[in-house]
Chain A
Amino acid sequence: MKHPLTRRDFLKGTTAAVLGASLGFGQDSSGAKKARVVLVRRRDVLDENSAINPDVLQGMLDEAVMKLLDETDPVKAFGKLVKPGETVGIKTNVWSYLPTPRELESAIKKRLMDAGIAEDRIGLDDHTVRTNPLFVNATSLINARPLRTHYLSGMSGCIKNYIMFAESQPALHPDSCADLGSLFKLPMVKGKTRLNILCALTPQFHGRGPHHFSRRYVWSYKGLIIGQDPVAVDTIGLRLIMAKRREVLGKDQELPPVPKHIQLADTRHGIGTSDFNAIELVKLGWDEDILV
Chain B
Amino acid sequence: MDDFSRSIPRKIGLLKASGEDHVYDRETLYDYMDGGAEVYLAFDFRQVWTRKYSMPGGKELTVDVYDMGSPEEAFGIFSCDREDPGAGIGQGSEYGFGLLRFHQGRFFVTVMTADEDEEAGQGVLEVGRAVVKALGPPGPGPDLVGFLPRESLQPDRTSYFHGNVNLNNRYFVAGENVLGLGRSTDCVFAEYGTGAGERGYLLLIRYPGEERALAARRSFLSSYAPEAGPEGLARTENKKWVSASARGSFLALVFESPSPDWARKLVSSINFPEK
Contacts and interface: CB of A to CB of B under 8 A. Distances in A.
B81 A258 contact: no
Interface stretch (A115-123, A209-217, A265-273): A209-217
Contacts of B8: none
Given A11-B236, A208-B83, A214-B99, A5 B35 contact: no
Query: A interface, how many residues as a size bin?
Result: 35 or more
A156 B176 CA distance: 20
B37 interface: yes
B38 interface: yes
B108 to A, nearest CB: 10
A6 interface: yes
B237 interface: yes
B169 A6 contact: no
A33 interface: no
A106 interface: no
A255 B172 CA distance: 9
Contacts of A169: 30, 35
Contacts of A216: 97, 116
B38 A11 contact: no
Nearest to A217: B97
Nearest to B175: A5
Given A208-B83, A208-B99, A95 B174 contact: no
Given A1-B222, A209-B81, A210-B40, A260 B97 contact: no
Q: A-side binding surface: helix, strand, loop or mixed?
A: loop
A5 B81 contact: no
A151 B35 contact: yes
A11 B30 contact: no
B36 A210 contact: yes
- Those 8 A-B pairs whose CB atoms lie nearest each other, nearest first: A210-B36, A5-B175, A11-B237, A4-B176, A257-B168, A6-B174, A151-B36, A258-B175
Interface of B: 30, 32-40, 80-81, 83, 97-99, 101, 110, 112, 114, 116, 165, 168-169, 171-176, 178, 222-225, 236-238, 255
Given A6-B174, A177-B35, A215-B98, 15 more contacts: A6-B173, A7-B171, A7-B173, A7-B174, A10-B172, A11-B236, A152-B36, A173-B37, A176-B175, A209-B39, A209-B110, A210-B33, A212-B112, A213-B112, A257-B172
